[in-house]
Chain A
């Protein structure tokens, strides 16, 4: 198992470095707009280019990048968005808003999704199950930004229950801040709840119809006992890693929801770094690396957690 984990981590790091290197070279090939900001003063432009290291050959620049950034953790300073500020500091400053909104979403949607899924599975083929399954199909399919529009229009505008956008500032743990996050949390939650419900229902119904559950019943266990002790635990095998993966994924958040509700998180930072008149490549590099890392990391955590939860699945240990 340890060998497997180490192998996976080594592979992940390799993939990560390859992707980041590709990104680096592709970004370096782009016309460098920040150096053009200084107008027609050629001397200034040359100085700026030198300061940024653009006068060296690209492989040398790549060496500097590897040494300074990947090993030293120095992602440079912002060139256009927050001129002169440290990219990493700015990124860490934006992080809490994204994580918090997504964390709240998970906190309420995971239990709700599990409960609904279990309920639907227990009431299989009755009207409750049909109702939940129909709603699940609708909620899984409809894109999250459509909920965002609906929430914004009905709850924020018509009923005026919540503010239109999230409050600015850094006091994340006040009530008014939470209150202003609710629309975003709701719009993110619908999809997550529906997905989890569908998954739980499918897994649980499969376990509930298996033979060993029948055996447990014939031994004299009540229905509740079999469900809680045997069925639920077994159905959690594939569900738990999924929840774990989602929890890691909350850091990358949802770009579109953050954009709609004006959440001062990393999503808008990324979008702005590309769509700005002069793209901010340092932010772009950092956030690309970040999203890549989160994706790869959640992937291996999910794979490894399978092995920890269910000893029968020890992937890689034996074919």
Chain B
């Protein structure tokens, strides 16, 4: 057995360096540190369906932000235009996708003839194709003949009467000359006829009376060559220089003359707004362009939802932190308050707020208040739970021993633990708000509709009356909200999994 030399003090020489070549340091990590959010991001990326959902949400958000800015036309900008009423319920038309704004229909003989007449006069034939001609429907009344046809809804608009001042009349004439598109069509003899489409002899019901060859008999007003009424473009039939047709019925006194003219709606649109009527999503029952209107409605809905979600997050975090951190009597009291508030059905809150506040602060603000009154309770509950879980742990004790104040402990040390859950629940609250808003608007409890403002729910509510006849009015808002809800749900699920550390490495 070796006997160790006994030392009082180990002499300096007995020490030697393990390594003399250089100083030893802790090895520096070559990799970058992965924090909580980075880790969540890495795991979120792996979840394909959530990534796709996030992309769809991005597309919808971009649509809501940029369409009202860039795709605004003269048409969508003039929000209170009465001319809109001429262009209601037009179906979607996207030329390059082959969607032509046509529909299949069954017409009776009178309507069929009047559509044909429209085509003859303007050259824009509403009847694109005839599938079945001049047949008798055994279930309907006898003598009536029917036609199964394909109709161009844009050409079907036909004519309308406009009353213009001389300056306006002049302006349209000048535009006609410049573009070679005829807007104003000849006036007819029958000044009591209110249907602007009739330019032929017709009976009282509007059915044309035909001559022997089966042609329509025009009743255009004839004027004299000396008539000074300026008219630039003429229809093909107007070729007799001795008997030119009148293009306006002049009424009023000599000082304030007004010109009643028959204009083609399709061409008048081009004059008025500078482009051919083509609506990607069609127009609604008030003639507003659904594509831009839906975008501004979506923008409103998004803004509403995001701000409500943010406010709820803030209030809930404050409330939950206080209740959770102090516990005891404070917590007890605060819990009872949330009990009462969460017991009130949301629909009752909204209706009470609408009845009380809508006139004072407007329907939107009272809706926001209603959402905030009960919306933060969920957030507060989550935060409170986290506080109960973490406030007794050693690192909190350590921080407190080092002299950290209550507020520092609460928001620096405990609160960040609940961030992941809070982000998830705030994101999931957004589609919830949009859904509630649309249901409430649909029910008519809140009314957000005005010429300058709209929401997705309002568009749904306005479209419901035309569900059977013009489904496109309700289809696009419904599609938008469905896509939004589905992708937000998928996105939220992905977020929840990503922020849940217990799932790390499981996939």
B490 on interface, CB distance cutoff 8 Å: yes
A146 to B343, CA, bound (A): 28
Assess whether A152 is in contact with B343, with CB atoms less than 8 Å apart. no
Contacts between the two chains (Cβ within 8 Å), count: 94
Cross-chain contact A138 with B354 (CB below 8 angstroms): no
Q: What A residues does B442 contact at CB under 8 A?
A: 145, 256, 259
- Determine if B471 and A29 form an interchain contact, defined as CB atoms under 8 angstroms apart: no
Stretch at the interface among B258-266, B390-398, B460-468: B460-468
- Provided the pairs A23-B348, A288-B348 are in contact, do residues A141 and B489 lie with their beta carbons within 8 angstroms? yes
Which A residue's beta carbon lies closest to that of B436?
A143
Contact partner of A137 among B344, B443, B468, B486, CB < 8 A?
Answer: B486
Closest chain A CB from B337 CB (angstroms): 10
B356 contacts chain A at the CB level, 8 A cutoff: yes
> Beyond A23-B348, A142-B482, A149-B467, is A137–B343 a contact (Cβ under 8 Å)?
no
B412: min CB distance to chain A, Å:
29
Interface size on B, residues (CB 8 A): 35
A138 to chain B: which residues have CB within 8 Å? 486
- Contact (Cβ within 8 A) A292 B478: no
The answer for the CA separation of A27 and B354 in the assembled complex, in Å, is 12
C-alpha gap A271/B351 in the complex (Å) = 9
Chain A residue nearest to B343 (CB atoms) is A15
Q: Mark B134-157, 1 if CB is under 8 A from A, else 0.
A: 000000000000000000000000
> In the complex, A170 Cα to B343 Cα: how many Å?
33
Q: In the complex the two chains form, is A141's CB within 8 Å of B343's CB? A: no
B443 and A291 contact, CB distance less than 8 A = no
* Residues of chain B within 8 A of A146, CB atoms compared: 478, 481-482
Residue in B339, B351, B356, B474 with the greatest tally of chain A CB atoms within 10 Å: B351
**B residues in contact with A212, CB < 8 Å:** none
Q: Are A149 and B356 in contact (CB under 8 A)?
A: no
Q: Check A274 against B478 for contact (C-beta < 8 Å).
A: no
Complex contacts, B460 vs chain A, CB 8 Å? 145
Q: B269 an interface residue at 8 Å Cβ cutoff? A: no
Q: Are B439 and A23 in contact (CB under 8 A)?
A: no
Contact string, B466-507, partner A, CB cutoff 8 A, digits 1/0? 011001001000100110011011100100000000000000
Pairwise interchain contact A143-B482, C-beta atoms closer than 8 A: yes
A157 close to B444 (CB less than 8 A): no
Find out whether the CB atom of A149 lies under 8 angstroms from the CB atom of B474: yes
Establish whether residues B467 and A152, one from each chain, have CB atoms under 8 Å apart when the complex forms.
yes
A70 touches B (CB below 8 Å):
no
Could you mark each residue 140-176 of chain A with 1 if its beta carbon is under 8 Å from any beta carbon of chain B, else 0? 1111011001001100010000001000000000000
Contact assessment for B467 and A141 in the assembled complex, using a CB-CB cutoff below 8 Å: no
Q: Say yes or no: A295 contacts B482, CB within 8 Å.
A: no
Chain B nearest Cβ from A10, distance in angstroms: 12
B181 at the A interface (CB under 8 A): no
Tell me which residues across on chain A come within 8 A of B468, comparing CB atoms.
152-153, 157, 164
Contact (Cβ within 8 A) B343 A284: no
Answer yes or no: A59 CB below 8 A from chain B CBs. no
For residue A243, which residues in chain B have a CB less than 8 angstroms away from its CB? none
For residue B492, which residue of chain A has the nearest CB?
A: A141
Q: Measuring CB to CB, which residues of chain B are less than 8 angstroms from any residue of chain A?
A: 339-340, 343-345, 347-348, 351-352, 354-356, 431, 435, 438-439, 442-445, 460, 464, 467-468, 471, 474, 478, 481-482, 485-486, 488-490, 493
Footprint of B on A, CB under 8 Å? Answer: 11, 15-16, 18-19, 22-23, 26-27, 29-30, 137-138, 140-143, 145-146, 149, 152-153, 157, 164, 252, 255-256, 259-260, 270-271, 274-275, 279, 284, 288, 291-292, 295-296
Q: Closest 6 A-B residue pairs measured CB to CB? A: A141-B485, A141-B486, A291-B345, A141-B489, A288-B348, A142-B482
